[in-house]
Amino acid sequence: MTTPSTSPSLFTPPAPGRTPDPALAHRRADAVLTVVGPDGAPLADADVVVEQTNHRFLFGCIGFELVDHANGYASGGSDHTGASAAEADPEFDARFAERWLDVFNMATLPFYWGGFEPVEGEPRTAELLAAARWFAERGVVVKGHPLVWHTVQPKWLLDKPLEEVERLQRERIRRDAGAFAGVVDTWDAINEVVIMPVFEAEENAITPLARVKGRVEMIRMAFEEARAANPAATLLLNDFDMSTAYECLIEAVLEAGIRIDRLGLQSHMHQGYWGEEKTLRVLERFSRYNIPIHFTETTLLSGDVMPPHVVDLNDWRVDSWPSTPEGEERQADEVERHYRTLLSHPSVEAMTYWGLSDRGMWLNAPGGLLRADGSPKPAYDRLRSLVKGEWWLPPTTLRTDSAGRVRFGGFLGDYRVTAAGGGSAAVVLDAPGEQQVEATLAG
């Protein structure tokens, strides 16, 4: 059952213990915290307040709409390609930003080549860097999406010879992965490779390149260049194809000896919620590769769902697609069920919702957690009640024992302990189960 030593294969047999646990024990710790005063002595028999400040789990959302806001000018309700779709409204943006930051700790920013560099040699680096820093300063992990894809391509790339397309693609990966290093350290290195060489919906320069190089060499190119420019980066392979095709592609990449840091699975559910059974089946199949999983693009609608006959979601274009009261109740339930299911699986490390509000949403769909006017749908409140309620430790007063110890349980993540008598310290719960931690008060 061993692979020959000449093989670069990174395929590993599935490890045991990836069984889902709806009680989420794998996401919680029971901490014994010893609080130490600035003088180095345990803070005995004192009141302290312990509160959670961040989740270890990555609750993500796209941050496309906040790029303008972060740059100090009003957003036009940008869609994901960077085009403006609505009237500027700074107040809307401020409320939007507040609601965004109240729930999420990971942002996906748009690096679609065609939108990022509409004129050759004039990338929107400064603007995106400002946006990425805005998020990073607020404790948000920032992911760039994507470095290689066949859609939303620059027009100027179209008529160049393939060798030139490859050279420019390699340069673009290095340039952007390098320029954003330290701020954007997570990337969808390459997107939707299963369909890449046979994609026909839109003329582009990447599909012909993928046909000549093959899927695996396209992936190697993306990962090698990105890693060269930012060795610390967390690099994802991302796809919407949940069929055996994606399994086979992953096995091809592992056989080729290419290290995938994280596996990206999309779950745009415009045609209806998958349900627990399908979701767990997908997780079971894709967790076999022993690579942590990010759910990278999730949409759940609060209106009518798209008919099942639509194969490419982009083909469904409607002028009006309203959010309805019944749809909003259903969406709230489905959002809760989907998050609970994903968190129940030990392989899932991140979940990114694909758009906070209906304003400017992809396909004009009512997939936001806020309505187009910015008001919260039930799904927003439901998600917040999990992330900042059931799964969150609010400020809690505890009394230390004679050795300066308090006990508390909570989700993996960042905590702060503050003494009633002054001084505070950060505490991290980073492994499930019993944990001994110590915090020395300062300030």
Residues that bind a copy of itself (CB under 8 A): 1, 3, 6-9, 11, 13-14, 162-163, 166, 194-195, 197-198, 211-217, 241, 243-249, 251-252, 254-257, 285, 288
Residue number, 195 or 439, with CB nearest to a copy of itself = 195
Minimum distance, C-beta of residue 208 to a copy of itself, in the bound complex (Å): 11
Residue number, 7 or 314, with CB nearest to a copy of itself = 7
Residue number, 248 or 426, with CB nearest to a copy of itself = 248
Phi-psi region of 23 (alpha: psi -120 to 50; beta: other; left: phi over 0): alpha
Residue number, 247 or 261, with CB nearest to a copy of itself = 247
Minimum distance, C-beta of residue 212 to a copy of itself, in the bound complex (Å): 5
Both structure tokens of 22: 């709806």
Among 158, 227, 148, CA closest to 193: 148
Minimum distance, C-beta of residue 53 to a copy of itself, in the bound complex (Å): 41
Minimum distance, C-beta of residue 391 to a copy of itself, in the bound complex (Å): 32
Minimum distance, C-beta of residue 428 to a copy of itself, in the bound complex (Å): 36
Minimum distance, C-beta of residue 14 to a copy of itself, in the bound complex (Å): 7
Residue number, 236 or 249, with CB nearest to a copy of itself = 249
Both structure tokens of 80: 């994901």
Residues 418 and 438 sit within 8 Å (Cβ to Cβ): no
> Sheet harboring 47-55: ordered strands across?
396-399, 47-55, 413-419, 424-429
> Sheet harboring 405-411: ordered strands across?
405-411, 28-36, 433-440
Question: At CB < 8 A and 24+ separation, what contacts does 201-207 make?
Answer: 201/312, 201/314, 202/150, 202/151, 202/153, 203/158, 204/150, 204/151, 204/153, 204/157, 204/158, 205/153, 205/157, 205/158, 205/160, 205/162, 205/165, 206/148, 206/149, 206/150, 206/153, 206/165, 206/169, 207/150
Residues 101 and 93 sit within 8 Å (Cβ to Cβ): no
Crossing angle between the packed helical segments 215-229 and 206-213, to the nearest 10 degrees: 110
Residue number, 244 or 436, with CB nearest to a copy of itself = 244
Minimum distance, C-beta of residue 258 to a copy of itself, in the bound complex (Å): 9
Residue number, 161 or 231, with CB nearest to a copy of itself = 161
